[in-house]
Amino acid sequence: MSSLLKWSSLPVAGMVSELKFSVPWGHIAAKAWGSPQGRPVLCLHGWLDNANTFNRLIPLLPKDYCYMAMDFGGHGLSSHRPAGFPYHFLDYVSEVCRVTAALKWSRFTLMGHSLGGSVAGMFSCIFPEMVDKLILVESCGFFPAPQESDLWLDSKRKVIESLMSLEENKPQPPKVRSPQEALQRLLQANSHLTEESGRILLQRGATEVMGGMVYNRDLRVLTHNQDALTLEQCSRFLREIQASVLMIIAQDGIFNPEKKSQYFVKPLQEAFQSNLKMASLGSISGTNKFPFLTCSGTDGPRNYSPKGKDRQKSTCKNLLPVTVCNYSGCKRLGKLYGAQRRLL
């Protein structure tokens, strides 16, 4: 498998390039910042997002790295799966393996937001020797199955019924919307986004056609088909991770450990801390669905408050082994950006 755009043809540091990696069902699209000679970082977006999630963040990170953000299958500019095939969680993990094999990356840093964080966490367990640093943003690295068996069975039933319903209905051409209508629909469904942020996501999330725009994503990705792993299994798996880990959790997001519905957050955080040599806590003020887009990044890290061991290492340029951060105020993500400068 090779990229449709030769990796060696990427421009000098500071430039952005588009790439496509051939896969049996089409291609995986990606965009790269910087020089191919830079230290490699693979960036994984969240559910229903795309690689443009990282547009605002990457320019604020160290320049001597090569940042590659890929669109998962069925998202952004990547090909849809063949008819009759659902999107399984492990498919996304295998896509990471396909892309890094094409790039001939044997060891690299993984940064994942939300679903991308779960994919990054699982990849780091399956291929621990390949990941030197793991950055989880609004993710615990895993998303265990519900404790109640009825909830799990109900969720799988909905996945199957939704897929069959899509197949039974006569395929309709994508609805064409005006650019403004496409943007407003996106903003209505994602109240956390600013208009500018929405436009950034639509650059990859929609395609211009005669009369307007159509959304790119495959409707089948709406059936969120996670693996059925228990909390105990996830806690055991993460022991395989060899990478240094940074975890950033939104204070007002779905992974807030105080939320009873997310029973697994605190145990997973504790498992990460207890199974790595060093663990430190910090706090940064925001919400869950922030996809790095909602602030220009001009704010400094004023509200980043390292605690414990991290307090003495707050100026360290290397990634801290484990940091669990909280942030709130989606529109103040510059503070997060400021802290992210120390990740790498």
Is 114 catalytic? The answer is: yes
Give the closest residue to 238 by CA, choosing from 273, 262, 263: 273
- DSSP-assigned states of every residue in 20-52: EEEETTEEEEEEEES-TTSEEEEEE--TT--GG
CA angle at residue 36 from 32 to 37, to 5 degrees? 145
Q: In what order do the strands lie in the sheet containing 244-250?
A: 16-23, 26-33, 65-70, 39-44, 108-113, 131-137, 244-250, 323-327, 280-281
Residue 126 CA to its chain's centroid (Å): 18
Question: What are the two backbone dihedrals, phi and then psi, of residue 209, each rounded to the nearest 5 degrees?
Answer: -135, 175
- Please write down the HEC assignment for all residues of 292-343: CCCCCCCCCCCCCCCEHHHHHHCCCCCCCCCEEEEECCHHHCHHHHHHHCCC
Of the listed 3, 78, 79, 114, which one is catalytic? 114
Please name the residue that has the structure tokens 């019924």: 161
Distance of CA 157 to the CA centre of its chain: 26
Catalogue the active-site residues.
114
